[in-house]
């Protein structure tokens, strides 16, 4: 039917185009009317456009059902991928619910009964942070699996590792300059050793920052969804029941009539807010942990790095390996002196003239 219609319309408009050409030719030979030319020209252009457009329009009409079907399939696949990406494992979901419940009891104890719920609050923060850490880990694994499957993903991961080494190398060179007041080029081997040693830590920090960045869009979106959830649910349930059922199917992968009572309870548990709230809790806990670890081990690493620098480059005068003063000759005429002050090594520079 479509083929016959296409052929019929194309033949009709093609004959009309030939008729316009014939009339134009007759007018140019016999009448030479400018008014006729002014009328026939737009008619000819319109017929030519319609003649070309008819097959395109019929083809678009033929392809429309296939395109819609393909679009629906792609959309549902995207929904499935998004659901897998945001899906919580049963263990992670249980941990999140326990932390949320502990947080609610903490608020209840503090605001209603005036009790000191510091332990319960800390416990809830720790549990919710653990849930968020597991969630971020699973999502990062999901993203990196998708990225690693292609050449571009492998390139991005390699560039991320290279960036980690560059950052670590820069920090090592900066520390050497501040500590010894010398150009880091005189300590290139030590700089490379420190850079290689701390590159995995730098890589881990960059990946952690990336993991926190991927939460920002959903933090905004889920917060808005949580705030508008009562209005949205009532509006959809009352006005657009089919759309509400579609929303449930997109979130769970099942029709609402096929959900069990337990699944319905989990669906209406309002846990989205706590899942979003666990993100800033996790960030605050990470910063607190880093500051606490830095206050405890910062001086140790600082002293150890100075000791390693002295043992690698500086030498004592005479035969005794134990000395509170050691020297390092660099750049031909200059000497750097390391003096042990009882707790750490201090560095001084003198000219050998």
Q: How many residues does the chain have?
A: 353
Cα(253)–Cα(249) distance, rounded to whole angstroms? 5
Q: Are residues 289 and 168 in the same domain?
A: yes
Cα(335)–Cα(331) distance, rounded to whole angstroms? 8
End-to-end CA distance of the chain: 103
pLDDT score of 353? 47
Q: Are residues 185 and 282 in the same domain?
A: yes
Q: Are residues 240 and 325 in the same domain?
A: no
The answer to whether 175 touches 198, Cβ cutoff 8 Å, is: no
Q: Are residues 222 and 114 in the same domain?
A: yes
Q: Which two tokens stand for residue 207?
A: 């990946």
pLDDT in tens, the chain (353 residues): 666 777 777 788 888 888 888 888 787 887 777 887 888 888 888 888 888 888 888 888 888 899 999 998 988 888 888 788 878 888 888 888 888 888 888 888 777 766 667 778 888 888 888 888 888 888 878 877 777 666 777 787 788 889 999 999 998 899 888 888 888 888 888 888 888 888 888 887 787 777 667 677 666 766 666 555 555 555 555 555 666 666 666 667 677 777 777 666 666 666 777 777 777 787 778 778 777 877 776 677 778 888 888 888 887 776 555 567 887 777 766 778 888 887 778 888 765 54
Range of the domain at 192: 91-314
Partnered with residue 325 across adjacent β-strands are: 339
Q: Are residues 138 and 198 in the same domain?
A: yes
Q: Are residues 146 and 281 in the same domain?
A: yes
Cα(332)–Cα(352) distance, rounded to whole angstroms? 9
Q: Are residues 203 and 80 in the same domain?
A: no
Q: Are residues 221 and 209 in the same domain?
A: yes
Q: Which two tokens stand for residue 125?
A: 């923060």
Q: Are residues 179 and 299 in the same domain?
A: yes
Q: Which two tokens stand for residue 233?
A: 């649910």
Cα(137)–Cα(211) distance, rounded to whole angstroms? 8
pLDDT score of 14? 81
Structural domains of the chain, count: 3
């Amino acid at each position: 039917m479509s083929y016959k219609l296409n052929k019929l319309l194309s033949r009709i408009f093609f004959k009309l185009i030939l008729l316009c050409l014939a009339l134009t030719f007759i007018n140019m030979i016999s009448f030479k009317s400018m008014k006729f030319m002014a009328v026939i020209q737009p008619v000819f252009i319109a017929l030519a456009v319609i003649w070309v457009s008819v097959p395109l329009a019929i083809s678009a009409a033929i392809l429309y059902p296939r395109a819609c079907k393909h679009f629906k399939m792609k959309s549902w696949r995207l929904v499935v991928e998004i659901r897998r990406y945001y899906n919580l494992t049963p263990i992670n979901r249980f941990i999140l619910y326990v932390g949320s419940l502990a947080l609610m009891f903490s608020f209840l104890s503090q605001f209603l009964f005036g009790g000191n719920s510091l332990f319960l609050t800390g416990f809830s923060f720790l549990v919710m942070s653990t849930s968020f850490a597991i969630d971020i880990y699973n999502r990062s694994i999901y993203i990196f699996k998708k990225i690693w499957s292609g050449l571009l993903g492998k390139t991005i991961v390699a560039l991320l590792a290279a960036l980690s080494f560059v950052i670590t190398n820069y920090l090592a060179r900066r520390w050497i300059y501040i500590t010894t007041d010398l150009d880091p080029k005189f300590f290139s081997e030590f700089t490379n050793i420190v850079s290689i040693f701390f590159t995995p830590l730098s890589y881990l920090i960059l990946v952690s920052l990336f993991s926190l960045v991927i939460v920002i869009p959903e933090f905004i979106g889920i917060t808005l969804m949580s705030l508008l959830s009562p209005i949205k649910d009532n509006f959809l349930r009352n006005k657009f029941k089919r759309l509400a059922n579609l929303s449930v199917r997109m979130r769970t992968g099942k029709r609402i009539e096929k959900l069990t009572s337990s699944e319905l309870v989990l669906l209406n548990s309002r846990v989205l807010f706590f899942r979003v709230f666990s993100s800033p809790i996790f960030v605050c806990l990470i910063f607190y942990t880093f500051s606490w670890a830095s206050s405890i081990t910062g001086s140790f690493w600082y002293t150890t790095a100075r000791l390693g620098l002295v043992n690698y480059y500086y030498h004592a005068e005479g035969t005794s390996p134990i000395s509170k003063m050691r020297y390092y000759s660099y750049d031909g005429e200059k000497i750097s002196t390391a003096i042990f002050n009882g707790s750490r090594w201090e560095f001084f520079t003198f000219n050998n003239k």
